[in-house]
Amino acid sequence: MPMLTHIESAVRQRYSQASQGKVDALCCPVEYDRNLLKAIPPEVIERDYGCGDPSRYLRPGETVLDLGSGAGKICFIASQVVGPKGRVIGIDMNDDMLALARKHQRSVGEAIGYHNIEFRKGRIQDLALDLEKLEADLQAHPIQTVDSFLSAEARADDLRVREPLVANESVDVVVSNCVLNLVDPRAKTQLFDEIFRVLRKGGRAVISDIVSDEMVPEEMQNDPELWSGCISGALTEEGFLNAFVLAGFYGIRLLKWDATPWQTVQGIEFRSVTVEAFKGKQGTCYERNQAVIYKGPFKEVLDDDDHWMERGKRYAVCDKTFQLFQKEPYREFFEFIEPRSEVPLEGAQPFVGDGMRIRHPKETKGQDYKANTSSSQCCDAGNCC
């Protein structure tokens, strides 16, 4: 663990300064959709400290949460992608960045023809705590003694439960652009858990961030300049993907991996990646006599629920897995086999067995199935075989 005890205040100071004017050292060239930039004021575009573009993976109608929204550029782009039926919430802990984003919120809304964005003050590793509500509370009850400190902590806990900044399972997509690396390493696990908490089942995270190809040594982690410059807090590329696994996500994949590093420091390469991860593998497994075939191209695969499958074989899966494989990012890799007699979900028995087992075609068709059919459906003018 780094000795740097004030990571967060170093980050806050650096981004207060960066909100007042462009800081070149914090910029990483990113290509955004130019059409979507037209409604965004130059002051916001020039204070772009992102390293990727998660907004290009959004869809109309989605509710999006942007972690570390800064001057608001990703929120302003996302607002146009999700359209008037979607919503965008930007979270930042820095007052100056929030003020800059809020200053332009109305004019962007007027330019695009609707208002679907809010900016909220919070720390992304503690998405339940509304820092503006806490601020108001502390003004009413200033902390002067240990007792008043302890009661403020208790009131903060109460706020998290009664008026959370972002409620459980309230968001379709969590995006972030170059911010997760800035979070204190001791809070990184909590950060990924919070992303998981606020996503609804079936939701996803699309995160652009800086990762390193080797572990960042301790002396680099102790340098506040490198910390706030998106270097020292970078997870390794493997560690970044694994953090999603540990939080309970599935279907995790690299949507983008920059071949050219953004910076190289002491031989360690720091590059931008965009990762997508899905929530929804948790839940009860019911037996409905369904099977899947993994189509390839790999000889065998293992998913995030430890289902190991060989190409071309029919595997028995529970209803939950069957439904999951029919969605992104899996569906293109599978064929799906429903039983000839449907097993209704109400009344279905729990799925038995830990490992994967082959499902014999007779289980799907029924032991008594003895039908004969002609080949008419598969051929044009009867010239097949």
H helix intervals, 274-367: 319-325, 361-365
For residue 295, the one-letter residue type is K
Tokens of 358: 């082959």
**Nearest distance from C-beta of residue 251 to ligand SAM, angstroms:** 24
User: Of 108, 134, 178, 226, which lies in the binding site for ligand SAM, with binding defined by CB under 6 A?
Assistant: 178
- Please, what is the minimum distance in Å from the beta carbon of residue 366 to ligand SAM? 56
- Find, among 316, 342, 325, 239, the residue nearest to 281 by Cα: 325
Give the nearer residue to ligand SAM in terms of CB position, either 170 or 323: 170
Sole binder of ligand SAM in the list 10, 15, 80, 232 (CB under 6 A): 15
Sole window of 123-131, 156-164, 267-275, 327-335 interacting with ligand SAM (rule: CB under 6 A): 123-131
Distance CA 346, CA 96 (A): 54
- DSSP codes of every residue in 128-172: T--HHHHHHHHHHS---SHHHHHHHHHHHHHHHHHS-SS-TT-EE
| Cβ distance to ligand SAM smaller for residue 89 or 291 | 89
Residue among 56, 123, 204, 359 that touches ligand SAM (CB under 6 A):
123
Residue 50 binds ligand SAM, judged by CB under 6 A: yes
- Does residue 243 interact with ligand SAM by CB under 6 A? no
Tell me how far apart the alpha carbons of residues 22 and 70 are, in angstroms, rounded to a whole number.
Answer: 12
Residue 94 within binding range of ligand SAM, rule CB under 6 A = yes
Measured from the CB atom, the residue of 30 and 348 that comes closer to ligand SAM is: 30
129 binds ligand SAM (CB under 6 A): no
Let me know: does 168 contact 197? Beta carbons within 8 Å: yes
Q: Is 86 in the site for ligand SAM (CB under 6 A)?
A: no
Closest to 32 in 3D by CA, of 20, 44, 18: 44
Helices (DSSP H) in 3-53: which residue ranges? 7-20, 34-37, 42-46
Binding site for ligand SAM (CB under 6 A): 11, 15, 48-50, 68-71, 73-74, 91-94, 97, 123-125, 177-179, 182-183, 230
